[in-house]
Structure 1
Amino acid sequence: MGQPITAAGFAEIVSAHERFVLLSHTRPDGDAIGSEVALKAVLEALGKSVRALNEDRVPDNLAFMAGSEGIEEPAGPAEAEVVIALDTANRERLGEKCLEAVRAAEIWVNIDHHISNEEYGDHFLIDSGAAATAEVLYGLICELGWPLPEVARDALYIGLSTDTGSFQYSNTTGRTHEMAADLVRRGLDVAYATARLYHDYPFRRVALLQALLETMQVTGDGRIAWWTLSGETKDRIGMQAGDSEGLIDVLRAIRGVVVCAFVEEIADGKIRLSLRSKDPAVNVCEICAHFGGGGHALAAGARTGGPLEDAVQRLLAVAADAVEAALPELKE
């Protein structure tokens, strides 16, 4: 376990070193990519040598982001004095190739907003009250008086918007809106970012939604909804990274549903669980912890063994107990 670090302490590390490598989690989302792009641009504006790596390539739905083309897949050792892990609750989620690439790094800094963060690295800066890691970075940049290039400005907004469901989720606070307002004052084109994020989908995403709806189920009491995605269906549709981003909100929007789940077959016989809760009384981070996962109270994930239907039944058993324990007054 590392030691907590302040903004001033982080600034000292940046000042004392020249070569940085930024990492974020596998299957990166908008906050992961946005945070990497933003911090890379800021550190480069400070005269530092910076590489941004990710185990997986930038998803198609985020490839429009200026600066995302600078994120590399690891290929051999990356000469780094300092590694900065962003938006990643545990070291393993950074990916084996990325971890191998930075094995010789002198210092690790872990910057995140997940309450389940394992506080790995030499130093960590974790703000679980922040809506996104992008919000944590924005606070650092402002507190330290660092430059905010246009590329970083736009990337931070994308991270913030995607992790708050376009400012719909309960993690959205006054601080979140104040950050967004400041980015707009700095010249952010909100209409462009919103159009590219939420109104520019390939047809295969619609085909994916159709396939998911065909598997949708709800428990008898209407409090848990889920759908499943097999590897065969993914291959048939030609699904690519990022295609399923946000689709779980269709389940979340069903009246009466408290917990919803996206259960997806992935490589090596594993099953990915993505959960959302609509009620703070039901903590899906705790549900996912049963399967070795984590995240936030209202949005979390995990991986477990297959086959697909067995994973569904194991998940439903844990989720049903959690809902019943938290909301017994709804039990029929």
Structure 2
Amino acid sequence: MNATFAEISAALSDKQRILVVSHLRPDGDALGCTIAFALWLKSLGKEVVTWNEDGMLDKFRYLPGHEMVTTPPEEPQAFDAVVALDNSVKKRLGTVIPAIKDGALWINIDHHVSNDRYGDLNYIDPSAPATGQILCEFFRDRQIAITPDQAANLYAAISTDTGSFQYAGTGPRTFQAAMELVAAGVNVAQISRDMYENQPRRRLELLRHALNGAEFSCEGRVACFSLTLADVDRLGVLPEDNEGIIDHLRSVEGVIAAVFFEELPEAKVRVSARSKDPSVDVCKICALFKGGGHPLAAGARVRGGLEEVKERFLEAVCHEIRNRN
């Protein structure tokens, strides 16, 4: 059962030192929510710390308050409460976990259907297309005025996680939240340029690599591309450059599912899967590989060699497509 917004607010009211965190390899929803919530807590006079295993990514430094996000220290610290946002399972916090001493109240606010409710207080809404939307509804419910800086962060969170308001789950609640954020001071044209028209050239080289190396299987209904460690060195790309590349493959006519395989050190492969057919649930497929996410967008980290993992995962995707209702 979900905690209410009132219960979450009340639980934080008597806490002074609060940590706000989100998942490793953060996206706009993770960082935008982290900063927006931290800004609210600071306005209440709280001592607020914000950590992410990867710190603040360069591509999101346009977010007001971005300097608040740092990497966790080696020595564990004590907190009265930890607020985890947009994070489905605790282990996805990465190096943040060992940096937190025992004894804190954990609050878990998220929109992933695969969330395992690891908090002392949980608010999980898989119908929301972004955790940013949930925070807008939290602030509205608690009658908390959203500042322009908070609004910019929440708008970025929602826009990036909904694919500019076009992914499944985007609905009246989403547009109501966006309307309220614009009314609170978001400069839509400026933040849109920051989000979508300021890409480093190396990302273009990665896109070129992906399109040139695209493979199609399952009668053309599955598209994929791979990125080896050697490719990463040759192209000079960063992990943050990968976001959104897979959507170019998913957009091809006839393709139902697209998959990106990224070779990692220590014999692991990061898998990102996208579907454009609700009957092909990539979260269900990723769960077979100890991953999770959403029905149309999910991922997993799988132990094994790149070609071996690729073969096994594509076989599972094709099986799902051929046996869908």
Matches within 5 A, 1:16-165: 16-75=14-73, 76-95=75-94, 97-165=95-163
Name the SS for the 2:185 alignment partner: coil
The alignment of Structure 1 onto Structure 2 pairs a total of residues equal to: 324
The unaligned stretches of length 5 or more in structure 2 are none
Deviates more, 1:34-43 or 1:73-82: 73-82
**Per-residue deviation at 1:79?**
2.9
Cα separation, 2, equivalents of 1:296 and 1:203: 30
Contact 2:218 2:318 in 1 (8 A): no
Corresponding residue for 2:255? 257
Tell me if the contact between 1:83 and 1:105 (Cα under 8 Å) persists in the aligned partners.
no
Taking the aligned partners of 2:103 and 2:204, their CA distance within structure 1 comes to: 43
Q: What SS does the corresponding residue of 1:280 show, helix, strand or coil?
A: coil
1:149-184 CA-to-partner distances (Å, cap 9, x unmatched) read: 222110000000010001111121111011111111
Amino acid of the residue matched to residue 207 of structure 2?
A: L
- 1:210 paired residue number: 208
Q: CA deviation at 1:221?
A: 1.0
**Contact 1:42 1:147 (C-alpha < 8 Å) held by counterparts:** no
Note if contact 1:262-1:275 (Cα within 8 Å) is conserved in structure 2. Answer: yes
Cα pair 2:51 2:70 within 8 Å, conserved: yes
Q: Does 2:293 align with 1:295?
A: yes
Contact 2:78 2:101 in 1 (8 A): no
Pairwise CA distance, 1:315? 0.5
Please tell me the residue identity of whatever aligns with 1:98.
V
**Contact 1:259–1:276, Cα closer than 8 Å, also in 2:** yes
Which residue identity lines up with residue 30 of structure 1 in the other structure? G
- Determine the C-alpha separation between the residues in 1 that align with 2:18 and 2:179: 30
Tell whether the 8 Å contact from 1:59 to 1:241 is kept in structure 2 after alignment: no
Q: Write the letter of the residue equivalent to 1:85.
A: A
Q: Bigger relative contact order, structure 1 or 2, given CA contacts below 8 A and separation 6+?
A: 1
Q: RMSD of the TM alignment (CA)?
A: 1.1
**1:288 & 1:16 partners in 2: Cα distance?**
40
Residues 264-315 of structure 1: CA deviation (Å, up to 9, x unaligned): 1112111000000000111000000010000000000001123111111000
Contact map agreement 2:147 2:184 (CA 8 A) in 1: no
Report the alpha carbon displacement of residue 83 of structure 1 after superposing the two structures with TM.
0.4
Letter of the 2:282 partner, please give it.
Answer: V
Find 2:184's aligned residue among 179, 183, 186: 186
User: Structure 1 residues 105, 36: closer, same or farther in 2, change over 3 A?
Assistant: farther
My pick for the range that moved more, 154-163 or 216-225, is: 216-225
Q: In the alignment, residue 231 of structure 1 is paired with which amino acid?
A: L
CA contact (8 A) 2:222 2:257 kept: yes
Q: How does 1:219-258 map to 2 (within 5 A)?
A: 219-258=217-256
Q: CA deviation at 1:220?
A: 4.8
Letter in structure 1 aligned against 2:216 = V
Cα distance in 1 for residues equivalent to 2:107 and 2:93: 13
Aligned to 1:195: 193
Report the secondary structure of 2:241's partner residue: coil
Q: Secondary structure at the match of 2:12?
A: helix
Three-state SS of the structure 2 residue aligned to 1:234 is helix
Contact 1:37 1:151 in 2 (8 A): no
Structure 1, unpaired ranges of 5+: 328-332
Q: Distance in 2 between matches of 1:25 and 1:306?
A: 23
Letter in 2 for 1:104: D
CA distance in 1, matches of 2:58, 2:26: 11
The one-letter code of the counterpart of 1:278 is K
Structure 1 runs of 4+ with >4 Å offset: none
Equivalent residue number for residue 330 of structure 1: none
Stretch of structure 1 that moved more, 63-72 or 84-93? 63-72
Report the secondary structure of 1:243's partner residue: helix
- One-letter code aligned to 1:92: K
**SS, match of residue 33 in structure 1:** helix
The sequence identity of aligned pairs, in percent, is: 40
Q: TM-score, normalised by structure 2?
A: 0.97
CA contact (8 A) 1:23 1:83 kept: yes
What is the distance in 2 between the residues matched to 1:296 and 1:100? 27
Q: 2:303 aligns to what?
A: 305
